[in-house]
Structure 1
Amino acid sequence: MNEFIGWCKARGYKFDGLEITCPPGNCGNGIYSTTTFRAGRPIITLPEYDMINSALVVDLPFYRKKMAKFTEKLKPMEILTMFFCFEDFETSAWSPYLKVLPKEFDTPAFKGIDYDVNTLPLSIRKFWVDQKKEISEISEKVGDHYEVRKKIVFQLRRLFPELTHDKILWAWHVVNTRCIFVENEEHDNVDNSDGDTIAVIPYVDMLNHDPQKYQGVAIHEKRNGRYVVQAKRQIMEGEQVFVCYGAHDNARLLVEYGFTLPNNLGAKVLIPQEVLLTLAKIAGIAVTREHEMVLEEVGLPSHLYATDEGPSWSLRTNVRVMLLEHWQMANGRWKKIIYSHDPIDEEVDQKIDEKLEIMLKELRNGVVEKTKKMPKDVQWMWEEQVKVCDVAIESFGTNDSSQKPRSPVEKGEDKEKGSEE
């Protein structure tokens, strides 16, 4: 680690008042403050030319020569994976950095675990399906037919047969678990068809994730030619410095990064419209095609979030729509009702609560029953969904109107929370 720290300083990194150490009970490294930082102060700065992105790699003579043999271009993820495959731990200019990277990962893909998509909650199902689709497409290019763990071979295996499967698997995980969102400029020798928004940034990639108490905010200051992590609030001496990877639930964190968090407020239960309609009918709401059309036009998610103390404004609004009479929906009258700034009539509000409580209890029962039927290795994912339902249901135990979720207009927000990050 001392070699890595010296390497960073020699390349112009600035991180005075920080140290890298292993947190208690954690198998990885973390960054801790050895002094107090005030809000707004830069805590890490480095020159932008040390951001390892696709443009940097393809402009290096070694990789320019390798890629000149092929007519096809590689995508950013493939280019960065190629970089970590070929860089020699002893002779590379990034050698001190390569030596502090983890040797293995705790993700299902690295461990060779293949989940049956039908056993996963909806909150992670699409992500898992998309990941498997990407892996399968790449595998077809290679011509190999391995199981999921072995399918992460990319077309690099075809272009560079000297690379071993294990090397590619490790390099892919380095990039996938450590890359940071950066809007990179397009490069003529990079396949930018899917965009180019990833970079691996030494030292910065050792900041761990905490969506509740994170203090660090990362900024690419293009005018100043540097990448900066700023303190968004005061950081006290001895604190671990965190950033937020996104509002991910534990299933997503495990699949993408290989860890979970206790009491993760990123937990959520996705409620597609077809499920919402079924629950509404069970609660005795007469849902017509007209209601369905209005719901589609409103376009609000009906999901439950662990960050909410009860059903969100968008879910309540969807139930309110389904309780509208025909004359209230005709000729677009529903817009004046739904988007009005006036308080909801108390009788209507109570009816929304009454129907929502029935719907969410039914939803919870359904989740509990599914949990019992699921394989043991995914039951914990469903149990977290049950907890989110419980919190929402418990909110009906109070008659305090101040606890009702307010609309984005009432809260001064531009838009309601979306269904996905």
Structure 2
Amino acid sequence: MEEFIKWCKARGYKFDGLEITCPPGNCGNGIYATTGFRTGKPIITLPEHDMINSALVVDLPFYKKKLAKINEKMKPMEILTMFFSFEDFEQSAWSPYLKVLPKTFDTPAFKGIDYDVNTLPLSIRKYWIDQKKEISEISEKLRHLFPELTHDKILWAWHVVNTRCIFVENEEHDNVDNSDGDTIAVIPYVDMLNHDPEKYQGVALHEKRNGRYVVQAKRQIQEGEQIFVCYGAHDNARLLVEYGFTLPQNLGAKVLIPQEVLLTLAKIAGIKLTREHEMVLEEVGLPSHLYATDEGPSWSLRTNVRVMLLEHWQMANGRWKKIIYSHDPIDDEVDQKIDEKLEIMLKELRNGVVEKTKKMPNETKWMWEEQVKVCDVAIESLEKSIKEKEEERKEEERRAEESKATEEVEKSEE
């Protein structure tokens, strides 16, 4: 690590007041503050030419020569995977950095675990399919173009890029296939910042005007704190598949509810649906998912249920838009009906998830159990809200009766 720190400083990196050490739990290196940082103060800065992106790689003499022979443009992920596949740990100009990279990864793909896609929750299913496809296609392509590379080496290199890359809006390069965009870069030192979606203090910025990449403090950082960034609002299944770790208390947990599932739940709840309802739902285009961070069903889910409760005359000629997007408070009777239907739908959804959980193998059962917890929180929050609304209605009725009684007394005295 000392060699890496010297290498960074020699290249113009600035990170005074920080140290890299292994946090409790032996989960890899982390970056800690050895001094306090004020809000907005730079924590890490480095020259932009040290951002390892596709443009940097294709302009290096070694790769420029190799790519000239194949006469084919490659995509950014392919280029960065190629880079880490070829770079020699001893001879490379990036040697001190390469030596501190992990030798293995705890992702299912690296360990050779092949999940049956039907045992995965919807929240991770598509990502798993796409990840397997991408690894396979990149490995096949690179081994075809460069027979000296092995699948194991490419798998390791792909994981370096996938687990450590950072979103950066790169400039287009004539020798890069930018058809799918170019928004990834691997940035030494910065890539050692660990993930915490709740208490992260670092915000990363590419300051093109100043020609540097900066991580700033989004809030005050105390001496001794580990510094975190946020990789995204991912549930634990996504974190495991993409990065190889999970969080004990992850507010990124979610349950995806596709429209066909929503419609089925609505019918079970006794809502009479027509094709007109389905067309309006499609036009509204709001997700019905449950999130661990939500205090009960989201506005989107409630709005979808409200749409499904509309009468034909309320939907005709686009009238539904004035109803759905109005800022006027929802009529109590309608609101009560939405709550009633939602409670049935969420309990039915939970029962369905529980039944699926029972049938799942141990390796994916925990993913479904987390989804059950999300359903439980949503139902508990909804029931609490219903109870509070009922108490408010009773209190309003009591006040109305008292007011009426007072008026009658006053009239009788007159």
Work out whether the TM-score is over 0.5: yes
Change (3 A) 1:154 1:202: farther
* Alignment-derived partner of residue 160 in structure 1: 146
Alpha-carbon shift at residue 400 of structure 1 (Å): 3.5
Query: Does the 8 Å CA contact 1:215/1:235 hold for their aligned counterparts?
Result: yes
**How many residue pairs were aligned?**
388
* Alignment-derived partner of residue 13 in structure 2: 13
* Alignment-derived partner of residue 45 in structure 1: 45
Change (3 A) 1:154 1:236: farther
* Alignment-derived partner of residue 348 in structure 2: 362
Q: Is 1:252 the counterpart of 2:238 in the alignment?
A: yes
* Alignment-derived partner of residue 320 in structure 1: 306
Alpha-carbon shift at residue 74 of structure 1 (Å): 1.4
Q: Deviations over 1:6-57 (max 9, x none)?
A: 1101100000111000000133000001111111111000000000001101
Using the alignment, how far apart are the partners of 2:324 and 2:44 within structure 1? 46
Give identity over the alignment, percent: 90
* Alignment-derived partner of residue 143 in structure 1: none
Using the alignment, how far apart are the partners of 2:77 and 2:315 within structure 1? 48
Using the alignment, how far apart are the partners of 2:313 and 2:76 within structure 1? 54
Query: Does the 8 Å CA contact 2:135/2:158 hold for their aligned counterparts?
Result: no
Query: Does the 8 Å CA contact 2:54/2:79 hold for their aligned counterparts?
Result: yes
* Alignment-derived partner of residue 105 in structure 2: 105
Alpha-carbon shift at residue 397 of structure 1 (Å): 2.3
* Alignment-derived partner of residue 379 in structure 1: 365
Using the alignment, how far apart are the partners of 2:384 and 2:176 within structure 1? 57
Using the alignment, how far apart are the partners of 1:240 and 1:50 within structure 2? 24
Give the counterpart of 1:199 among 148, 172, 185.
185
* Alignment-derived partner of residue 240 in structure 1: 226
Q: Is 1:290 the counterpart of 2:270 in the alignment?
A: no
Alpha-carbon shift at residue 354 of structure 1 (Å): 0.7
3-state DSSP of counterpart to 1:199: strand
Q: Deviations over 1:56-80 (max 9, x none)?
A: 0111111111111111111111111
Name the TM-score, length of structure 2 as normaliser.
Answer: 0.92
Using the alignment, how far apart are the partners of 1:281 and 1:165 within structure 2? 49
Q: Aligned letter for 2:84?
A: F
Runs (4+) of structure 1 moved beyond 4 Å?
none
Unaligned runs of 5+ residues in structure 2 are 390-414
* Alignment-derived partner of residue 303 in structure 1: 289
Alpha-carbon shift at residue 164 of structure 1 (Å): 2.0
Q: Is 1:25 the counterpart of 2:12 in the alignment?
A: no
Pairing of 1:80-229 with structure 2 (within 5 A): 80-136=80-136, 138=137, 153-229=139-215
Q: Aligned letter for 2:163?
A: T
| CA RMSD between the two structures | 1.2
Q: Aligned letter for 1:324?
A: L
Using the alignment, how far apart are the partners of 2:130 and 2:85 within structure 1? 24
* Alignment-derived partner of residue 384 in structure 2: 397
3-state DSSP of counterpart to 2:216: strand
Query: Does the 8 Å CA contact 2:109/2:132 hold for their aligned counterparts?
Result: no
Q: Aligned letter for 2:225?
A: E
Query: Does the 8 Å CA contact 1:119/1:375 hold for their aligned counterparts?
Result: yes
Give the counterpart of 1:332 among 318, 327, 334.
318
Unaligned runs of 5+ residues in structure 1 are 139-151, 402-421
Using the alignment, how far apart are the partners of 1:168 and 1:293 within structure 2? 46
Alpha-carbon shift at residue 168 of structure 1 (Å): 1.3
Q: Deviations over 1:104-134 (max 9, x none)?
A: 0001110001111111101011111222333
Name the TM-score, length of structure 1 as normaliser.
Answer: 0.90
Over alpha carbons, which structure has the higher Rg?
A: 2
